[in-house]
């Protein structure tokens, strides 16, 4: 097992797997609806796909600007990562510095993963993460806050904020 995953597993989870999965399902849907309501996202995604500019199926990221805020969206069937900042350079901030600490100063990121029936399981799987100055990095060597009540609340707030942009 690589170091990243062994360190992630040390996070103390204060919410049940079922609650995480249900929130992930709901947030994934809400996030998609927000993005699809933005003409800037639809236009840039279409342009990148049609012209094959900086878009590939192995790295399906869309970068665009809306109302002075820069975004990078990484999405597929079961995943949605939204990174946003006031400057284009800030969305490229280092997420995982070599020392393991996250130093997001000017950008924020929400990560949502949901799978209704993951391979070998009858239970839905969800993962929720948040990177930004609002939440502290958890103890026990974790790289980012994830799958906690605080993360759920921060993602709720972030989705409302994004909807109102």
Is residue 139 over pLDDT 50?
Answer: no
Is residue 140 over pLDDT 60?
Answer: no
Q: What is the pLDDT of residues 29-49, one digit of tens each?
A: 999 999 999 999 988 888 877
Under DSSP, the state recorded for 12 is P
The rounded distance, in Å, linking the Cα atoms of 77 and 25 is: 12
Q: What is the mean pLDDT of the chain?
A: 79
Taking the alpha carbons at both ends of the chain, their separation in whole angstroms is 40
Q: Read off the pLDDT of each residue in 142-158 and give the average, rounded to a whole number.
A: 83
- Contact between residue 21 and residue 125 where contact means Cβ atoms under 8 Å apart: yes
β-strand 61-66 against 79-85: which pairing, if any?
A: unpaired
* 3 membership: H or E segment, kind and range: helix 3-8
pTM: 0.80
- Contact between residue 11 and residue 143 where contact means Cβ atoms under 8 Å apart: no
- Contact between residue 71 and residue 84 where contact means Cβ atoms under 8 Å apart: yes
Under DSSP, the state recorded for 76 is E
Q: What percent of the chain has pLDDT over 70?
A: 73
pLDDT of residue 93: 63
- Tell me the sheet residues that pair with 63: 72
Is residue 99 over pLDDT 80?
Answer: no
Tokens of 144: 């980012």
* CA angle (136, 145, 89) in 5-degree steps: 75
């Amino acid at each position: 097992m690589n170091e990243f995953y062994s360190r992630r597993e040390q996070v103390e989870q204060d919410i049940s797997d079922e609650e995480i999965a249900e929130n992930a399902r709901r947030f994934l849907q809400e996030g998609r609806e927000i993005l699809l309501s933005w003409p800037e996202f639809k236009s840039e995604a279409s342009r990148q796909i049609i012209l094959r500019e900086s878009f590939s199926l192995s790295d399906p990221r869309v970068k665009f600007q809306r109302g002075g805020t820069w975004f990078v969206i990484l999405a597929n069937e079961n995943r949605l990562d939204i990174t946003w900042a006031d400057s284009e350079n800030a969305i490229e901030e280092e997420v995982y510095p070599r020392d393991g600490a996250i130093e997001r100063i000017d950008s924020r990121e929400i990560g949502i993963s949901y799978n209704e029936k993951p391979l070998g399981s009858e239970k839905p799987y969800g993962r929720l993460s948040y990177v930004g100055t609002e939440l502290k990095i958890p103890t026990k060597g974790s790289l980012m806050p994830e799958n906690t009540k605080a993360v759920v609340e921060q993602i709720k707030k972030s989705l409302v904020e994004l909807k109102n942009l």
